[in-house]
Structure 1
Amino acid sequence: MSLAHIDTARSIQAARLDRPVSPTPAAPRIRAVPDGPQARGFVLYVGIDEATAAAAGTSLSRIVEALKALTGSIAPTAETHAAVALAPAGAGGRDVDVVRLALQDPTALARQRNATEDPDRAPGGVVVDISRKRVHLDGETAALTYKEFELLQYLVLREGRTIERAELIAKLWNASDDEDAPNERTIDVHVRRLRAKLGRYEDIVRTVRGVGYRFDRHADVSIRQSSTPSPDVF
């Protein structure tokens, strides 16, 4: 090998040694934690009542003990604390949302407070405006028909009570309607269309198998009443 080749090889090797080494990219964070505060733990809300747990062959205490045991097996030094959420019997809404409100979850409380303090604001979630006959979904007005809103309003004004299909027919349909004589199938079709327009909030109208339908208020649902009681049929 000539001296020129040797000098060239040495120059290339020196350049490689002087080149800065790229740092190894950091592993992506599963969930961002704001700079400054330090994550000290987490809260897991579990929505289930004793009857549902019993139907699954377990109980609330057994679920709690299983979760505590799992935490201990993964992180033996971790401390745990369990709290049971209490709510009035028959409280409407998804179990997990009732739990969040009962245990003072900041996000759920803030959403409820905003809907109460600023009635002209259309916040995220669902706003059923009885006074103006409209429904807002995440700030956008839902394109409900007259009959769809009438059906939703009837359920909303009887929150937590299961309404039979026969009652809905008797109260919301009359001889002057242009539609054919309604039956239970008519109610089911209208409810299906209503749910489709409610999108991801469709389960505020809950089916009670073999009976009828019920309105369940979630943590992200607010109702705006008129200054005087709204009529059932308008």
Structure 2
Amino acid sequence: MSLALAPVRTASVRPVQARTAPSLSAATSAAPLRSLSNAAARDLSAAPAPAAAPAGPRVRAVPEGTEARGFVLYVGIDESKAAEDGTTLHRIVEALRALTAEVSPSSETYAAVALAPEGAGGRDVDVVRLALQDPSALAKQRDGQGTRNDADRHPNGVIIDISRKRVLLDGEAAGLTYKEFELLQYLVLREGRTIDRHELIESLWDADDEAPSERTIDVHVRRLRSKLAHYQDIVRTVRGVGYRFDRHADVSIRQASTPSPDLY
């Protein structure tokens, strides 16, 4: 993915002299301007200087009592597509940050990577919009879920609904606590990879909080499993290492619509 910005500046034209090709000089970093024909140069030099363009209207109306504080640009591209383009997600992020700093040095930036379970499918940009809670994307998702029949909404098995932060077991809520769901979500988004206890502590507890011991992690996992009832083996213990999420045929994962914990 490439992004180029061509700053627009006023061009100055030198008077046309006899037997001399006209020239146009413009201070721009986008591309050199090609020389104009003699007739075009005469028309341009004779024309009055254009008046300064008035400030354009806002792109979208800002409701009364509010003010615009920034914007979001959703970029949909996975790591394999970035590699095919000869780049990485990190390089794209850094390029956008550098461009923002050049255009508006006083601006602040924040970047988050949108994660989804492997094989979840769908358009990359839609995954990003859901992960970062774009209102229109969430509304579309809710409308789509509302058109399904009851059997489709509440099938037997496990539904890990990351968009609503809940887990359904055979159509009934599992009643996980916030931290239990965060633990399960962390494992689900890294499906098939064994996560050690130290990584769980660093990722799920803020630096300002009192960090739990590895024994406390085991207690959280045990409580999580008890609430998963007869589906508790989706969270497996890898002895001496940590824990891993294993998807079964009766496990369904709904698309993420919460900010990813992975930041750039």
TM-score by length of 1: 0.46
Higher helix share: 1
Indicate the structure (1 or 2) with the bigger Cα radius of gyration. 1
